[in-house]
Amino acid sequence: MSTVIEAVRPIEDYLVMSDEEIAERIEAAREAMGSRVVILGHHYQRDDVIKHADLNGDSYQLSVLASQTDAEFIVFCGVHFMAESADILGKPSQRVILPDMGAGCSMADMASIDQVEDAWDQLTEIGVIGGEKSVAPITYMNSSAEIKAFCGRNDGVVCTSSNATKLFDLYLKKYDKMFFFPDQHLGRNTGAKFGIGLDEMVVWNPKENLGGNTEQALHDAKLILWRGHCSVHGRFKDWHVDKIREDVPGVKVLVHPECLYEVVQKSDLNGSTSFIIKTVEEAEPGTKWAIGTEVNLVNRLAKRFPDKEVYLLAPDLCMCATMYRISPQSLCWSMENLVNGNVVNEIAVHGETKEQSLIALERMISMTNK
């Protein structure tokens, strides 16, 4: 649960200020706060926000940074589940702020703890769980703290797009089956890397009894994939890959593993946002890249590397609208409130949820480093 404390100045005051004034005020607030505050920014943030971030990274790196910083306040320019993870991993004295509470993740919202617990109960009733075979719950970082806690108390783990392969490898050695929430695409794409056939994967639709599957199919499956997806990455289709290869001879296709299976199969490379950045950074001048991920990141890469050709895989705008809710205005508003001694839009996870989700997140970090 989050605590919201009234701001000294209403946010509306900031909406009428010029971009220059807002940027200056953010920097002035940062100077006034000194080392008491750290601004973290996810790679998908817009340019006018990311330029104020002290540190940036993908969702895994940001969770590690949050666990390492000593700042009293972590202002998180990302989405809700990332700020929650920062609070879970941060020190008890630290406070995490999400400049706009509307910055959620539609994929994370596709699985609620009640639905997950109901699914687990149904699988237990038919003997898939508690039967001969062992089942591990694994949740993508893009999920609520309650679902992370569920994984924590059931010997499961959290993963991100940068460590999913590593964690699948470790869990597949130990368990017969995995139940993966909430992104069916990351689950399917990662399972395929281990030779798990599509016929060994079933999709769990939380709106249907047994997730829309037969008992036998659930017993036989190696991977049960929650029916969730990212609407941003779902916009990339396999014909976009064919089209760009036709239009730009020699282009390499680089996509995020939240993309559809068919897209990832046709691509040259896939990986997390940091992997995408590193791949383009290290590429030879003159190379051509079609990238299937959020448009702010792709545009920034195109600007940063004028000696390489960088294209968005789908020509139409593909933005994470919730990430975009974090604006320079809301960042300025939350920073100036901090200067005034008000903590606005605090994200705080409490009690057992915090303890158990910490287990799953710490398990992730230690297994990633194995």
d(CA 270, CA 266): 10
Q: Which residues contact 12 (CB under 8 A, 6 or more apart)?
A: none
User: Considering just the CA atoms, what is the radius of gyration of the chain in Å?
Assistant: 21
| 273 belongs to the binding site for ligand 13P (CB under 6 A) | yes
**Is residue 151 part of the contact set for ligand SF4 (CB under 6 A)?**
no
- In whole angstroms, the minimum distance from the beta carbon of 258 to ligand 13P comes to 5
Q: Is 63 in the site for ligand 13P (CB under 6 A)?
A: no
Distance of closest approach, residue 144 Cβ to ligand 13P, in angstroms: 14
Minimum gap (Å) between residue 257 Cβ and ligand 13P: 8
CB 88 within 8 A of CB 355: no
Q: Which is nearer to ligand 13P, 189 or 272 (CB)?
A: 272
* Cβ-proximal residues to 138 (8 Å cutoff; 6+ apart), any chain: 151, 156, 157, 158, 159, 167, 168, 171, 178, 179, 180, 181
Question: Pattern 202-231, binding to ligand 13P, x per CB under 6 A?
Answer: ----------------------------x-
Q: Distance between CA 280 and CA 5 in Å, rounded?
A: 42
Given the complex with ligand SF4, which of 187 and 222 has the nearer CB atom? 187
Site for ligand SF4 in 220-239 (CB under 6 A): 230, 232
What, of ligand SF4, ligand 13P, none, does residue 190 touch, CB below 5 to 8 Å by kind? none
338 binds, among ligand 13P, ligand SF4, none (CB under 5 to 8 A by kind): none
Question: What Å distances lie between residue 182 and 3, 66, 87, 158, 204, CA to CA?
Answer: 26, 23, 21, 11, 10
Cβ proximity to ligand 13P, 63 vs 334, nearer residue: 63
Binding to ligand 13P (CB under 6 A): which residues in 241-260? 258
Q: Within 124-163, which residues bind ligand 13P (CB under 6 A)?
A: 142, 160-162
Tokens representing residue 143 in the block: 């999920």
User: Under rule CB under 6 A, which residues in 79-138 are in contact with ligand SF4?
Assistant: 79, 105-107
29, 39, 40, 58: residue in contact with ligand 13P (rule CB under 6 A): 58
What single-letter DSSP state applies at residue 234?
G
Given ligand 13P, ligand SF4, none, residue 323, with its beta carbon under 5 to 8 Å by kind, binds ligand SF4
Among residues 106 and 205, whose Cβ is nearest to ligand 13P? 106
Where in 289-318 is the site for ligand 13P (CB under 6 A)?
none
Alpha carbons 184 and 223: distance in angstroms, whole number: 10
| Residue 256 near residue 270, CB atoms below 8 Å | yes
- Report in angstroms the alpha-carbon separations of 293 from 24, 57, 78, 264, 337: 31, 15, 16, 12, 34
The dihedral formed by the CA atoms of 333, 296, 107 and 216, expressed in degrees to the nearest 10: -160
Amino acid making up residue 10: P
Q: Which is nearer to ligand SF4, 62 or 107 (CB)?
A: 107
Residue 154, C-beta contacts closer than 8 angstroms, at least 6 positions apart:
120, 136, 137
Task: State how far the Cα of 290 lies from the Cα of 310, in Å rounded to an integer.
Answer: 6
Among residues 115 and 161, whose Cβ is nearest to ligand 13P? 161
Q: Tokens 């999400």 label which residue?
A: 98
User: Does residue 294 touch ligand SF4 according to CB under 6 A?
Assistant: yes
* CB closer to ligand 13P, 57 vs 156: 57
Q: Is 323 among the residues that bind ligand SF4 (CB under 6 A)?
A: yes
Q: Which is nearer to ligand 13P, 59 or 213 (CB)?
A: 59
Which of 142, 144, 163, 329 contacts ligand SF4 by CB under 6 A? 142
CB of 242 to ligand SF4, least distance (A): 24
Residue with tokens 């299976």: 261
The answer to whether residue 183 forms part of the interface with ligand 13P (CB under 6 A) is: no
In this structure, are strands 95-97 and 346-347 parallel, antiparallel, or unpaired?
antiparallel
The residue ranges that bind ligand 13P (CB under 6 A) are 58-60, 142, 160-162, 230, 258, 272-273
Q: Which residues bind ligand SF4 (CB under 6 A)?
A: 79, 105-107, 142, 230, 232, 258, 294, 320, 322-323
